[in-house]
Amino acid sequence: MNIAEVFSEAWRNITSGASRAVWFALALAIPASGLGLADIIATQSLISAANSYKESGADVITLVAAGAIDGEKCERLSELPGVAAAGALRAAPDTPLLALPGSPVPTKEITNGLPSVLGAQVRGDGGMVVSDELAKELNVGPLAVDRNQGIATAHGTAKVDGTYDYPADGRRAGFAYGLLSPVPAGGGAFDECWVRSWPPSPEMRMLIRLSLIPGAGEPNADPPVVSQLNTRKGTEFDGAARFEQRVTRFGAMAALAVGMVLGYFSVRSRRLELASAKHSGVTAATQRLQVGIEHAVVALMAWILAMPMIIYAARSAGLPDLPVMVVLGTKPVLVAAPAFIIGAIAGAATIREKQLFRYFSNR
């Protein structure tokens, strides 16, 4: 039997249903894609946990040292790898507002980098940054129709540049209601330096100390304190380690086993047919080639069936790295397909012509 005849025979078996191609394609696609979907869901869960960690402010490291922080040094920490933003702040006199007579608003002076640390929505006009809670009371904010809108104070009208959200979710108290007033980073010493970095690094607790002014600080002041803005979600988040330890990382290995077993079973279920072919003169090598071709087609069909489900799941996850998620979900399918072919060829190797009568008796 030449190569053309082998392909022709394999194609007849597929189209006639003798190889049960559709059934085995489904049997292979469903568990393989299920393992891929499980890995996508597990990864999505990890990413959601990481986003929740960041949104809570747990990725912000703070250094408190009254009158001992160099604002310019603190701002320059944003140039370090992994640092998203850095800024300094200090206490300032409360601001008396005409709209709230008798209730001066707590105020902090900040450098330009601090709004980014807080995730503030700002226009960049250099005006006041208002907490959401206060902005709701005064009906002000960066999205107001009047871009020149401001806050009437006892000292005149203060321009509003943006707002920031500071929920009571475990982060340090004292900033949920108030005003932040931008000042030059080089305009004197500050009390605190805040750094937002990702992924969290223990080294940042040492590097943030570079913002200290040597020998500065108030007499008898407390020593500098390095802490985390919000510790409710833990003091660290090792996303890489969690990803490496996820249970679904064994999905490809499980798909390998499933593919091998299905391939072996698909051939053993046709042992009478294949043993008869050997009795008719088909060589073992020719038969294994034919089986390989048939099961390669089935593996391709399984891949075609599985991919739309994987792509849909990856898109539904709503994550920015869609290609990465698709590749992650596709791994079990890509492993299961060749395993299915190998299992089938291994199964064909176990079929003996001399056992034809036994196969016939047990059919």
pLDDT at position 278: 63
pLDDT in tens, the chain (363 residues): 567 766 666 667 667 666 677 888 899 999 999 999 999 989 888 888 998 999 999 999 999 999 999 999 999 999 999 999 999 999 999 888 887 777 888 999 999 999 999 999 888 777 889 998 888 888 765 544 344 567 877 777 788 888 899 998 889 998 999 999 999 999 889 999 999 998 888 899 999 999 999 876 666 667 899 999 998 888 888 888 888 898 898 999 999 999 999 988 888 777 656 666 565 656 667 767 777 888 888 888 899 999 988 988 888 876 667 888 888 889 999 999 999 999 988 877 776 655 555 555 555
Q: Please report the pLDDT score of residue 147 as a whole number.
A: 43
* pLDDT value of residue 154: 79
Nearest residue to 106 via CA among 66, 133, 68, 136 = 133
Q: How many CB atoms lie within 10 A of CB 258?
A: 23
Look-up of token digits 């043993």: 275
Distance between CA atoms of 87 and 117, rounded to whole angstroms? 7
Question: Structure tokens of 54?
Answer: 């960041």
Q: What is the pLDDT of residue 221?
A: 67
How far apart CA 88 and CA 96 sit, in angstroms, is: 23
Residues 6+ apart with CB under 8 A from 219: none
Q: Around 177, how many Cα atoms within 13 Å sit in the side-chain half-sphere? A: 8
